[in-house]
Structures are given as C-alpha cells and as structure tokens.
Structure 1
Amino acid sequence: MTPRVSIVVPAYNNADFIGETIESILAQTYRDFELVIADHASTDATLDVVSTFSDPRIRVEHTDAGGGAKRNWDRVSRLATGDYLKLVCGDDLISPTLIEEQLAAFERHPSAVLVASQRALVDAAGKTIIGTRGLGTLSGLVAGRDAARAAVLAGSNIFGEPGCVLMRRDVLERIGWWDNDHPFLIDQATFTEVALQGDVVALRKSLASFRVNAGQWSVRLAREQAAQAAGFHHKLRRDYPDLLSRNDVRIGNARALLTSFLRRAVYVLLRRRITHRPSTQA
C-alpha cells in the first residue's frame, strides 16, 4: 500500500553525516512512511554509508550530475508517493516524534497545506549552538497569506529548513515543485508559495536540528543572499499585489540584509570556537 508520508533526502557528498540523518528518520514513532534517497553523483562515500541500511522502507535512486540543488530536490520529490512530503537534507536531523506531531496537526486542521516546527542549530559534532529557533511570531493555525507576509517582514526564512516542514505533496506539485529563481531561498520561496494555497500550522517546539557548516561565509555571500531575498520580495509583490505594500518590501529587504550579516557573525564565531577547541589527544 502507498505510505501516507514520504520523507525524501537529496544527498550530495554527505558521507560524514548521512548515517545520523537516516537513523533519525528511521527512529520516528510514526511508522507509515517511505524514505526516498536520491544521490546527486556524490564523489565521496555517501552511497557506501547509505548501503549499510537495509530497512524495507528505504528506496535509493540516482540523479545525474549538474542542475544544482533544484535538480535533485525536484527529482526526489517527484519520486515520492505519499500524501505528505518532508525533505530532509543529508546532514540534518529530525526528532523521533516529528512526523507524528505534524500529522496530528494536519488532522486537527484540514485547511492546512503546511506544518512547520521550530528547530535547533547544531555544529558538526552535533553540539547545540541555539536550542530553539524559528517561526517568528507564528503560533498554531495561521492563514497562509499572513504567514507569507510575516516571513517577508522578518527578512528571513521563518518556516525553517526543509526538515522542519511537512507539506501536502499535491500542493508542491501544483506550484511546479521547488522554486529556484533565487537559489539562496529555494526552501523559503517554495514554502511561501505552498502557504499561499491554504493555511499553515506553526508548532512552537524544537523538533529538528539544522547543522551549521563552519565553512567560509564571506561578506560577498552575505550581500548576495540579501540581494536575492530582496529580489524574491519584489517578485512576490508583483505576483500578489494585495499581499505586500511597498513599505513591507522595504522593511523585509532591510531585515534580510541584517539577517545575512548576523548569520555571517554566527559562522565566524563557530569557526573560532572550533579553531580554539582544546585538543583531546594525549
């Protein structure tokens, strides 16, 4: 029988972490799901790690190189067969009760098209950097239009990384799959478009973990992310003229710029913490 939920993992060079990701998925208290992993021509041992798992719910597929994140995110999402879809990046983690709690939210609120939880930020070793983050002021059942506007005004992805979100697969298909017009915002842009098709449920509880990469996050990248956020805000206002005012867009653009540089500061501090961590070797 077709599972009710599809959890999809677009893997690419995640050998160091994908084992933990899969373990966190298989540990779900809700059991009626399929796990579809699509490897995007990894050059490390990602597939070797994946092959160590033999759970019958796992299906492994392959995506040819090229096309960026959208190619593999679209492919693995199209392969999903469940009514509800959750994309989990190959280095992130989800809490054991996440699917159960998000499905319960859908059952309480039939008008919902997307359910999002808060999440923790962790480092490469899984140590918590920030325990609870996300959703802004959203709580409980929220009209999708209000959630979309709140995200713009916050200047950030208040829905969270993909692992925080469970959405109706048919709605994702209806909007044309993942929106990569502004690559830094592929998740936020997609969740916003899904939200605009119905209502959103915000679970104010940390039920996932996003792994922060301590690699280079330059001033140039911070400015590029902010520029893409501004481009997205302007596009959203053009597509939905009654959703956002010019002032909403100005506020969102300013906060997006601030958020990008705050993110860079977190990454710089994280690199310093790792660099100055005492050695455990004798």
Structure 2
Amino acid sequence: MPKVTVLMPVYNGEFYLREAIDSILSQTFQDFEFLIINDGSTDSTREIICSYDDPRIRLIDNDYNLGLTQSLNKGLKLAEGEFIARQDADDISEPERLVKQVDFLETHPKVALVGTWYKQIDTQGNLICKCQLPCDCTQIRWNTLFYSPFIHSAVMFQKSSVLEQIGFYNKVAIHAEDYELWCRIALRLKIANLSDYLIQWRIHPSSVTATYENIQQDTTLWIQISNIEHLLGAEEVKRWSNGIHLKSIIALWLGELEELKDLNLQQLNQVIERIFHLHHAFCNYYKLDWEESKKHRNEVLIYLSTQLLELAYDGLEREEYNTLQLLNIAFRLNFSILLTKKTMLLFIKLIIGTRLFREIRQMTQYKFRLEQD
C-alpha cells in the first residue's frame, strides 16, 4: 500500500498535462500511486497519459464526463494511500513538494490537512508573482470565513481523518467544491500551510476560475455566508440588513475597495463593529484562551487598520471619503501602525496626493516656466 495517493482528475487537459505529470513523477519522494481520472476527455489527454511507462500511474477512464466534483469523490474512494495529495492537470509541483508535506503530516499527527505557498505562472510557465498564505491554524480558520486559504492543487490530507469525520466533496458547491470542503475540515480538525513555494499555479483562459467565474463567485458567497452563519446563527445574520453588511465585511477584509465605495463613514464603522463581533464569536467557537484571543485580535486590528489606509488612499483619489477621518479610524484601531514602513509609504502617497500638494506643485511648475521664458 503506497504512503501517498496523488489524485488528478483531468478533462481535455492536453495543453499542460505533460508538465503536470512530469512534475509528479520527478518527486524526490517515491512511495506514491499516481491516480489519474480521465473524465471523458475528447482530445489527446488519454494518449498522453498512456505514453508513460511508469507503474506508479493508475489510469481510470470515466465512460462520460462526470465533472470535477464527482471525479474527485470517485478518486477518493479508489485511493489506496494514507495521504491524499491533489494535483491539477495544468499546475506544476516542485520536486520537494511531497516529501515536505509527508514529513509535516507525520510529525504533526493532529493536523489533518496541509497546503503550501505557491507561485503564480502564465500560460508559458513564466513567473507572475509569489503568493503567501496564512500558515497558523487559527489564522487559516479565520480567513476561511472570507476566502479559500489553500490552493487546491497544493493540498495533502489524511484520508481516514477527512473521509471518516468530514466526508467527501459537496457536489452542490459548484466550482468551489474545494473551498467548501476546507471550511468543513477547518471547523473540526487542525489545518496548516507550509511556508515553502511548492506549487506553480497556472493562470490561463480555459481554467475553471476563468471559465466559470460568475458561478464560482455565487458559490463562494454562499459558502462565506454559511461560514458566518455557523458562528453567529442564521437569525442574527439575517438581522444584519439582509446580508448587506456581510458583503461589506467580506469586501473590507479582502480589500475589494470598489465594493465599499457606496458606504458612508457611519456604515463603515458599523462594518468594523460587525467584524469584531464576528471575531468574538470566532474565539468562543474555537475555545481560544485569553492569550490566543488577544494575540489574534491584535492581528485583526493591524490588518484592518492597513485595509483602512488603503481605502483612505483610494478614497482620496476618488474624492469620496474624508481622508483624515479614515486615518483617524485606522489609528484608533492600531496606533502603532504609524511606525510601520508600509504606513509611512502610504502616508507619503496620501500627502503627495492631496489637492494642496498638487496646487503647490502646479504653482512651482508655473513659476519655473516663467523663469525659463
């Protein structure tokens, strides 16, 4: 029986499939089966898979296209490994990925799932950016309220713990089945991310995110609301202006400034109050002790004050907010933010962006032209 099952459903993935397969077969960790579910592909996907002569590859052909969620659940039932590692057919795993994740799970037996940081690449494999995700269990659990703090193609989890205590992927969570499963796992089991860039996540026009963006956004919002309702109760959430505050809470945490442009300062203050109310419920649900609650509340304060600084700068450009009032809110949340490098840079931008500074600059330029003439 292999230690790891690498599970990879694929549907018409001929463009990047070979790179994905090669990245798994080149792993420094060798004790794995590579379970590939060919989900009724009509291109050369099957031919590419069959061109490999490697006993670790285990090909399963679906008679017709079942879709990602059903193919994943089929793979979970067939998997023989103690650990399940996900791999998408358009992504690339770094050679040390499996060995580092196996080592972590074996030395942290209470952790059910572990992801990694990732590199974002384009269609040609060129680096776009490096992306970091929260690593601490409490931080990850908090962030699952607002977004998926895991890359699907980067996770490894304990098969028995997850399937016996949590269950399979939910077919109702269309095009966000991974996020929904991580949320259920986070509610009951320990989770983590490794601070290593062990996956290359490809951005391309035919990806699920690009193809089904609107459906994915709707499903994600449903998951986010469900997460918050789980902590606060459906009735209390309903009293929050029929969900309007929920969208604003999510937007502020994610830095989606466009979604906040119609809020006045009083409403923005209400959103901040709701976040701290939610945080209180979060600490109670996960039974955080006083020290843990204080530490995480401070992290929330710092993060929110930074988001408000960004909003202040954006509002200055749009002339929609009173910048000084926004800064006042940010500093009341976290006065020490004044001492950070990022705040200094933002503050300089704010000064440079003020109407007074622009007028002085225009006057100086006008005077300079006169002297030149």
Among residues 140, 143, 160, which one is paired with 1:147 in the alignment?
140
Work out whether 1:188 is the aligned partner of 2:179. yes
- Distance of 1:16 and 1:209 partners within structure 2: 16
**1:74 matched residue in structure 2:** 73
The 8 Å contact of residues 222 and 257 in structure 1, kept in 2 or not, is answered as no
- Distance of 1:106 and 1:218 partners within structure 2: 29
**2:131 matched residue in structure 1:** 133
- Distance of 1:33 and 1:45 partners within structure 2: 25
**2:198 matched residue in structure 1:** 207
Change (3 A) 1:63 1:259: farther
**1:271 matched residue in structure 2:** none
- Distance of 1:7 and 1:217 partners within structure 2: 20
Show CA shifts across 1:226-245 (max 9, x none).
33222112222344548xx9
* SS in structure 2 at match of 1:105: helix
Structure-to-structure mapping, 1:236-255, within 5 angstroms: 236-241=227-232, 246=237, 250-252=248-250
> Displacement, 1:211?
1.1
The 8 Å contact of residues 171 and 194 in structure 1, kept in 2 or not, is answered as no
* SS in structure 1 at match of 2:179: helix
Work out whether 1:168 is the aligned partner of 2:153. no
> Displacement, 1:177?
1.0
TM-score relative to the length of structure 1: 0.78
- Distance of 1:220 and 1:42 partners within structure 2: 17
Identity %: 22
| Greater per-residue helix proportion | 2
> Displacement, 1:51?
0.7
Runs (4+) of structure 1 exceeding 6 A deviation are 216-220
Pairwise CA RMSD of aligned residues? 2.9
* SS in structure 1 at match of 2:194: strand
The 8 Å contact of residues 225 and 260 in structure 1, kept in 2 or not, is answered as no
Q: What are structure 1's unaligned runs of at least 5 residues? A: 262-282
The 8 Å contact of residues 91 and 153 in structure 2, kept in 1 or not, is answered as yes
Structure-to-structure mapping, 1:226-245, within 5 angstroms: 226-241=217-232
Structure-to-structure mapping, 1:3-82, within 5 angstroms: 3-82=2-81
Change (3 A) 1:240 1:218: closer
* SS in structure 2 at match of 1:206: strand
**1:157 matched residue in structure 2:** 148
- Distance of 1:96 and 1:111 partners within structure 2: 25
| Greater per-residue strand proportion | 1
**2:271 matched residue in structure 1:** none
Could you tell which deviates more after superposition, 214-223 or 224-233?
214-223
> Displacement, 1:35?
0.5
- Distance of 2:210 and 2:30 partners within structure 1: 44
The higher radius of gyration belongs to: 2
- Distance of 2:143 and 2:83 partners within structure 1: 24
- Distance of 2:126 and 2:101 partners within structure 1: 25
Could you tell which deviates more after superposition, 111-120 or 182-191?
182-191
**1:100 matched residue in structure 2:** 99
Show CA shifts across 1:117-165 (max 9, x none).
01111112111111x2141xx23x524xx5232122xx332212x2211
> Displacement, 1:225?
3.3
**2:82 matched residue in structure 1:** 83
**1:112 matched residue in structure 2:** 111
Show CA shifts across 1:163-199 (max 9, x none).
2111111233232211232223211111222233321
> Displacement, 1:210?
1.1
Greater RCO, CA 8 A, separation 6+: 1
> Displacement, 1:254?
5.8
The 8 Å contact of residues 229 and 253 in structure 1, kept in 2 or not, is answered as no
The 8 Å contact of residues 116 and 155 in structure 2, kept in 1 or not, is answered as yes
The 8 Å contact of residues 70 and 171 in structure 2, kept in 1 or not, is answered as no
> Displacement, 1:17?
1.3
- Distance of 1:176 and 1:89 partners within structure 2: 21
Q: What are structure 2's unaligned runs of at least 5 residues? A: 238-244, 260-373
> Displacement, 1:55?
1.0
Q: What is the number of equivalent residue pairs in this alignment?
A: 249
> Displacement, 1:253?
5.6
> Displacement, 1:20?
1.0
Change (3 A) 1:148 1:92: same
The 8 Å contact of residues 117 and 131 in structure 2, kept in 1 or not, is answered as yes
